Amino acid sequence: MTGGGLLVAGTTSDAGKSVVTAGICRWLVRQGVKVAPFKAQNMSLNSFVTREGAEIGRAQAMQAQACRIEPTALMNPVLLKPGGERSSQVVLLGRPVGEMSARGYHGGRQQQLLGTVLDSLAQLRATYDAVICEGAGSPAEINLRRTDIVNMGIARNASLPVLVVGDIDRGGVFASFFGTVALLSREDQQLVAGFLVNKFRGDVSLLEPGLDMLHGLTGRHTYGVLPFRHGLGIDEEDGLAVSLRGAVRESAVAAPVGEDVLRVAVCAVPLMSNFTDVDALAAEPGVVVRFVDRPEELADADLAVVPGTRGTVRALQWLRERGLADALRRRAAEGRPVLGICGGFQILGEHIEDDVESRAGRVDGLGILPVRVRFAREKTLERPVGEALGEPVEGYEIHHGVADVRGGEAFISDGRGHGLDGCRVGQTWGTHWHGSLESDGFRRAFLREVAAAAGRRFVPAPDTSFAALREEQLDRLGDLIEQHADTDALWRLIESGAPRGLPFVPPGAPA
């Protein structure tokens, strides 16, 4: 028997599809429904490694957490990782299969992947009571409809009802809802069941006449009006946001435990990947995290972070052009804390041999750490565990660069004193492990070292649990759906599909 399903589409990118999908998943699992998330095709530099060593989008990993299940490659069969303005690495079922231009992908390759996408979804629907799918961008991108495998293309092939989410905080939501439906073909329109308003501020009664008029124009109901709430973003696909900072500051309103705050400056390098690594720092009371792109913004920081990037050589050049490279070298020479993560770790080394990512050959690094990096064609995708600063730590690795450490101390060990990853010299640390700062004991120990080196009277809170904060956030998303959406009607959609006889809204898709 095939499980129920729903596709959450949006009027635009960043309308709230990921958040609504996670909220519906958490609401369903609290009702005892066995549910899984799905996104046919994701374009993101924020990715995650599953237990079986597959790379998927971080948003789908967080949605799996909302479902209280382990993420798998089936939940995001196609992941595109931009490497420049016109090309992306294509990751299929968790493994990279090559680089491709946007023209080449949309010119035929995308449609070839439809079988893999449908098979992945069918496997999930055979295993779970319900699968909540997330679309990408807008289903009304008429230039891409012919090769679409993530919006109406998947909805049509899998007979999924579609719920369209609109961000009313941006304005123009009624026009966006109407226009989205009106630009779809008659066959596609038959699957668009209705709308969900996101990020509403104010009195809902003032909105209701517009919703009634929208129903009159389209014949489709609005399934809920979700109020605006700060800090409810889960791990985002792209952008510069610290997704937990707002939630923690507003829910806990926690003052620093010590006398000082700790200021963290994250270099906003091009093609930044997994910037969510610093969410765990922002979750600590008294830690202030900001993204910077000027050397003077590093001057008053207690910790400088060079994050991961999909373009290590390009990021290195950018740091030099901005004067940030010299600022980082000065910090290291003065014994002021610097942390490099993944591509950032590679940048801090002596040199990089890259015939894979940038094909730039040998490029000098910043020379702060005694590390030489060679880019391998095979990508490292692992979920390692170890010990650092006397505390257990775990993370995940996503990189082509292989580090040859030629000095300093191992940053992370195997618990028996043998080096496992990274390098430390003075107050400069580097590691390939994403997510390591989510290990609470290690994060607190690391921040104590940073505070001591920076001369700050900062004390980490003794009881901050990053995992608990994530759960709290997911429960808040589930609460939004439960309290502000028509959950009975939503369940009918998931179980039975789109209502029959939905009217056609002209003009429909262009010929």
- DSSP-derived letter for residue 41 is E
> What are 351's strand-pairing partners?
364, 372
- For residues 171 and 207, is the Cβ–Cβ distance under 8 A? no
- 401 three-class SS: strand
> What are 430's strand-pairing partners?
340, 423
Using DSSP bridges, classify how beta strands 428-431 and 397-405 pair: parallel, antiparallel or unpaired: unpaired
Complete edge-to-edge strand list for the sheet that includes strand 412-413: 391-394, 385-388, 412-413, 419-421
- For residues 83 and 96, is the Cβ–Cβ distance under 8 A? no
Residue 133 designated active-site:
no
- For residues 150 and 135, is the Cβ–Cβ distance under 8 A? yes
What is the per-residue burial (b if ≥16 Cβ within 10 Å, else e) of 85-111?
eebbbbbbbbebeeebeeeebbeebbe
N-to-C CA span, the chain: 37
Tokens describing residue 138: 């807008």
| Amino acid sitting at position 427 | Q
With a CB cutoff of 8 Å and minimum separation 6, the contacts of 493 are: 6, 161, 163, 193, 223
Angle formed by the axes of helices 487-496 and 17-30, to 10°?
90
- For residues 309 and 485, is the Cβ–Cβ distance under 8 A? no
With a CB cutoff of 8 Å and minimum separation 6, the contacts of 267 are: 291, 292, 293, 298, 304, 305, 306, 307, 319, 324, 328, 344
Using DSSP bridges, classify how beta strands 87-92 and 95-101 pair: parallel, antiparallel or unpaired: antiparallel
Given the residues 67, 342, 400, 432, select the one marked as catalytic: 342
Q: Is 254 exposed, middle or buried (0-12, 13-18, 19+ CB in 10 A)?
A: middle
CB atoms inside a 10 Å sphere around CB 445 = 17
Given the residues 399, 400, 432, 434, select the one marked as catalytic: 434
What is the torsional sign of CA 339, 45, 291, 289?
A: negative
User: In angstroms, rounded to a whole number, what is the distance separating the alpha carbons of residues 95 and 189?
Assistant: 35
Residue 342 designated active-site:
yes
Which are the catalytic amino acids?
A: 342, 434
